[in-house]
Amino acid sequence: MRQLLHATRYAAALLVFCSATIALARDKNVWSYEGGLFVITNGSLPSGPCFRLAGRVTSGDFFDHLKRFDKETGTVFRRGTEAVETFPDQLTLTFMVHDHYDQTCPPREEHPGAPKYLTREMMSTLHLYLYWKRGVELRPVENVERKYFGVRDLIPPAVAQAHGLPEKLEWAYEYIVPSAGVPLTDSLVLVLRDEENHMVARVAARL
């Protein structure tokens, strides 16, 4: 009798385990988006310095408690029990650009005389392009509004002058991006191009 009781408990536990495993297999991945969508990438100017672009996409509390479920039947987005299919009417895109060097940068030996640091003049030649991406299709985002632009010193000017250091700066941007009716499965793609239309950086904000 005792052996039968143990066997019954074992079978019940095994059934619970198998049920949980099946449930996990059904909901393969769950992603949360507290704080918005974060973007980060490295870029470089032709025969010039490397830089880092980092920022995020927000919209009030829209991304709070928003979750993505990747199921065998497809991807769904939910906030609690509510199904969410599209972005809100507008998104806020903020990002910063500053000098950055790592193994992704072209070797200095290739352009020994190239400038090492971003300057105001260099940044003034760059242009931002925003697209909605669906599959391989890119659709330009229209009516984007720039809300903020600023430049700050990473090294105080007095300190730089006293130690003979070059000016090192960081550029900050904020844009309002219309997004009414855009499916959550679309990605917001940021592209930076120079005055000769060379792409110097690209990154996508995706759920």
pLDDT in the model for residue 200 = 95
- Residues 181 and 142: beta-carbon distance below 8 Å: no
Tokens for 37, please give them.
């969508």
The residue ranges of the chain whose pLDDT is under 50 are 1-27
> Could you read off the pLDDT of 2-32 as tens digits, one per residue?
443 344 344 344 333 333 333 443 445 889 9
Q: What proportions of the chain, in percent to the nearest 5, are helix, strand and coil?
A: 20, 45, 35
pLDDT in the model for residue 28 = 58
Q: What is the rounded CA–CA span in Å between residue 16 and residue 90? A: 45
pLDDT in the model for residue 82 = 93
Q: Residue type for 84, please?
A: V
pLDDT in the model for residue 162 = 85
Q: Residue type for 113, please?
A: G
- Residues 111 and 45: beta-carbon distance below 8 Å: no
* Domains identified in the chain and CATH numbers: 35-60+88-205 (2.60.40)
Give just the sign of the alpha carbon dihedral 22, 25, 26, 32: positive
pLDDT in the model for residue 117 = 87
pLDDT in the model for residue 112 = 66
3-state secondary structure of 4: helix
pLDDT in the model for residue 29 = 85
- Residues 154 and 171: beta-carbon distance below 8 Å: no
pLDDT in the model for residue 150 = 97
